[in-house]
Amino acid sequence: MKIQTKAVHAGDRKKGGAHVPTATPIYTASSYFYESMEELDRVFGHEEPGYCYSRYDNPTNAALEEQAAALEGGHGALACSSGMAAIHMALLAALVDRRKSVLAANALYGATVSLLMNVMEPSGVSVRFADLWDLDAFRRAMEETKPGCVLVETISNPLLRVAPLDRIAEIARATGAAVIVDNTFATPVLLRPLELGANFAVHSATKYLAGHGDVLGGIVVTDAAHYEGVRTLARAVGPVLGPFESYLTMRGIKTLPLRMERQCANACRVASWLTSHPAVERVFFPADPAHPDAADIRRLLAPGLYGAIVSFELKGAARAEVFRFMNALRMIVRATSLGDVHSMMLYPVMSSHREISPRHRERMGIRDNLVRLSVGIEAVEDIVEDLEQALRQTG
């Protein structure tokens, strides 16, 4: 079954009686009643399927989890209250029976870096950052640190490096390390990390999966070896998503392939236009033939789909000039998110990477003149026109 069909049908229409709803209902109950204590006891003991308490499981959440696992080609999934909760759960599950050490890519979302440095390290987890695109250096770092898990983004935030996930997974597997991949930017439409050897695929469901700016949520999709560990931790920690948010995310996923195809096509045209604009110093976009990961992009990403994020640097701009440019935008939304149907722009220095020290940002290549554009489904001519008039006013 193709991913477009899975997105529409997976998770829905569970048999529960004579009447089967065509869309999954929103189950708001916190607990569930059975005719006998013996039956409830079997449900609690996982001896027969059923629901007993919504911190453990919920029918609406379960439908979303089935849908997400189907799209990612995973064994199972956990719907979480945010993308950061999902990453945290994946890290905890990966390290349960492994050395408490993480080898992370040196190109990551700022909040993920903060989670590693300010939560995981003080809890006794060793954290090291490495260039996962230099496979020889990555092998050396693996030998030196012997980490319990490797953490990487499919397409990095915000400079859009594309990781050689299959080779990273092969190297990690040889040492027994689990591989966690944040697949938010790519979505399963572009790439499915578990099919390349990863153990966890994590999403901020707030972004492309839900797609309409009305959900805060996250999802962890796992292989068979880690699924029960994630569920056991979730029952203890309780990071679960609410059923209404699960319903909205599930509804959003039904149009995910359509939205991603349109957004990727728009992003290609926007990136090409920006490349030739005199006020733009540099454009970061995976379709660029000169992209440092061009060979891996051709090998790993779905043909013709390069993601819908375009990052670019304004020529000679400092913070004041960036603010002037963004304030001049009339249609593109100035907001701290991405993946919505409307185009959005963010200033990483001020938002996504605000908590990262200036020196660390500089090492990551995130300069003060960089902006990140999440391209929406609008007519691409209107997106370009808004950028043009804003760049004209800035100059």
Q: Hey, CA dihedral for 22, 28, 30, 33, is it positive or negative?
A: negative
What is the SS3 assignment for 168?
helix
Hey, what amino acid is at 263?
Q
User: Token digits for 61?
Assistant: 């959440």
DSSP readout, 125-165?
Answer: -EEEEE-TTSHHHHHHHHHHH--SEEEEESB-TTT--B--H
What is the SS3 assignment for 262?
helix
Task: Please indicate whether residue 15 is annotated as part of the active site.
Answer: no
Q: Are 124 and 118 in contact (CB under 8 A)?
A: no
User: Token digits for 147?
Assistant: 């980490």
Task: Please indicate whether residue 207 is annotated as part of the active site.
Answer: yes
Select which of 27, 57, 161, 182 is catalytic.
182
Select which of 42, 55, 251, 354 is catalytic.
55
Q: Are 308 and 343 in contact (CB under 8 A)?
A: no
Report strand pairing: 370-374 vs 309-314: antiparallel
Hey, what amino acid is at 6?
K
Select which of 27, 57, 109, 227 is catalytic.
109
Task: Please indicate whether residue 99 is annotated as part of the active site.
Answer: no
Select which of 6, 192, 207, 372 is catalytic.
207
User: What order of strands is seen across the sheet that includes strand 370-374?
Assistant: 280-284, 309-314, 370-374, 344-346, 333-334
DSSP state, residue 22: S
Task: Please indicate whether residue 97 is annotated as part of the active site.
Answer: no
| Opening angle at CA 261, ends 90 and 378, nearest 5 | 110
Residues taking part in catalysis = 55, 109, 182, 207
